[in-house]
Structures are given as C-alpha cells and as structure tokens.
Amino acid sequence: MAIIDFNFALEQLPKVLAGVPWTLTIAIIAMGLGLVFGLFIALCRIYKIPVLNQLSILYISFIRGTPLVVQLYVFFYGVPVLFDFLNPYLGLNLDADKISPLIYALIPYTINTSAYLAEIIRGSINATNSGQMEAAYSVGMTTSQGLYRIVLPQAFLIALPNLGNTFIGLIKATSLAFAVKVVEILAISRIIANDGYRFLEMYLLASIIYWIISWISEIIFIKLEKRMSRFERKIAFKTSG
C-alpha cells in the first residue's frame, strides 16, 4: 500500500472544495466589518476621545492578548448563557440554537480582526503628513472631509501591504471555525479523514487549498497596491502641474 494515496485525495477534492465558499465568506465579511470597526477604534485613539480612547486601548489589548480559538469558544458557549439570563428579565424568548454557526464564527472573527486592523490603520494615519489636515482646514474643509478626501486615501495606500497580510492570515485562521460547527475546508477534511483513516492525505490536501487561496489573495493585493500607487502618482502629477 502506498504511503500517501494521492488517488484518494483527488477523489475527495470536490467535497473539500465545497468548504471554500464558507472560508471565503468568513474571511471577506470579517475583513470588511473589521475595517469599519477598526477605523472607528483607530480614530477614537488618534483623537483621544474621552472614555472611548481608554476602552479602545483595553479592547485592543484584550483581543490581541487572547487566542482566537478561545474567543470563538467564549462566544459560542457564552451566547446561550446570556440568552438564559436575559429571557426571564426582558420577557423574551431568545433561542441560541436558532443562530446559524456562520454567525457564531463571523462575530468573533470580526472582533478579532478589528483589533489588529485598528492598530494598522492608526499607524498608517499617523504616517501621513500631519500638515495636510491643516491645509484641509485652510480651504474650509471639516475634519471628516479632510479625513475622507485627503488623509484616508493616503493611509489606505500605506496600510495596504499590512492589510493584505492580515487578510491572508484571516484566510488561514478560518481553519478554527470548525470549533463553532462551521463546515469549512478543514472541518470537511477532518470528517473525511476520520471516516477513511487517511489523515495525512486530507490534511495535505487542505493545506494545498489554503496555500492556493492565500497565493491568489497575495497576487490581488499586490496588483491593487500597484494600481493605487499609479493612481496616486497621477493625482500628484496633475496637482503639481
């Protein structure tokens, strides 16, 4: 018998690929929502908004200082306890069993991602020329207009390599989603491996799929970075002209 049964792995490939949409859904939605919440947290820290600044520091420290898998378990087992506590007091009939496993995954992934992105965004905004906001004020722009039109586009370009790395890391981190019953790439591979006792083949197959997705994501971010750089140079040329 062959040490590695490649035919078995190829036969199971379509089944494992069925988990790719779940992996991409978690990664893309968590990245998008993480950017929104991360920007809010970063601005709270940059402008040192009372109370929110201190809460943001605590939030980032706690989320970045605890493992993602623990956060998944805390949310998964904590929601039923929270519902059991709230139902009698608020007269509700909330049922944790009716919540989709995808939701149980998306919320912790979004929370975790936002904490990391907040620091990336904060560092990128601080890396832009501080005099540009003063120039924005001088032409009558508000703080929000200056941020949206001038600072954030430049900060996005600065942050793009780190954003790409975060997204690729998020793709790989989705392998933990099986902890909350999401049947993604690794979960399917584990099920097939347990049934057929072909653990090496299935885990190698899963690793190759994760690698291909990460590789494609890296190419997309590299092209996006080049396009953004060309766009910025065109804008700078027109402005200087």
pLDDT tens for each residue of 33-57: 999 999 999 999 999 999 999 999 9
Within-domain flag for 203:
yes
Assess if residue 177 is contained within a domain. yes
Residue 174: in which H helix or E strand, if any?
Answer: none
Residue 55's domain comprises: 6-240
Q: What is the pLDDT of residue 222?
A: 92
Contact 136, 146 (CB under 8 A): yes
pLDDT for position 233: 62
Instruction: Answer whether residue 95 shows pLDDT above 70.
Output: yes
Residue 210 domain-assigned? yes
Give domain status of residue 1, yes or no: no
Report residue 131's pLDDT band, with 50, 70 and 90 as the boundaries.
confident
Residue 230, in any domain of the structure = yes
Q: Residue 12 domain-assigned?
A: yes
End-to-end CA distance of the chain: 72
Higher pLDDT, 202 or 146: 202
Is residue 145, in this structure, part of any structural domain at all?
yes
Place of tokens 């039109």: 149
- Angle formed at CA 109 by CA 105 and CA 111, multiple of 5 degrees: 125
Question: Which regions of the chain does DSSP assign to beta strands (E)?
Answer: none
Report residue 69's pLDDT band, with 50, 70 and 90 as the boundaries: very high
Is 0.85 surpassed by the pTM of this model? yes
If you compute the radius of gyration of the chain from its CA atoms, what whole number of angstroms results? 22
pLDDT tens digits, residue range 179-204?
999 999 999 999 999 987 889 999 99
Domain count, the chain: 1
Q: What is the mean pLDDT of residues 77-101?
A: 91
Amino acid at 233: R
CATH code at 105?
1.10.3720.10
Report the C-alpha gap between 70 and 50 in whole angstroms. Answer: 30
- The confidence score (pLDDT) of residue 188 equals 95
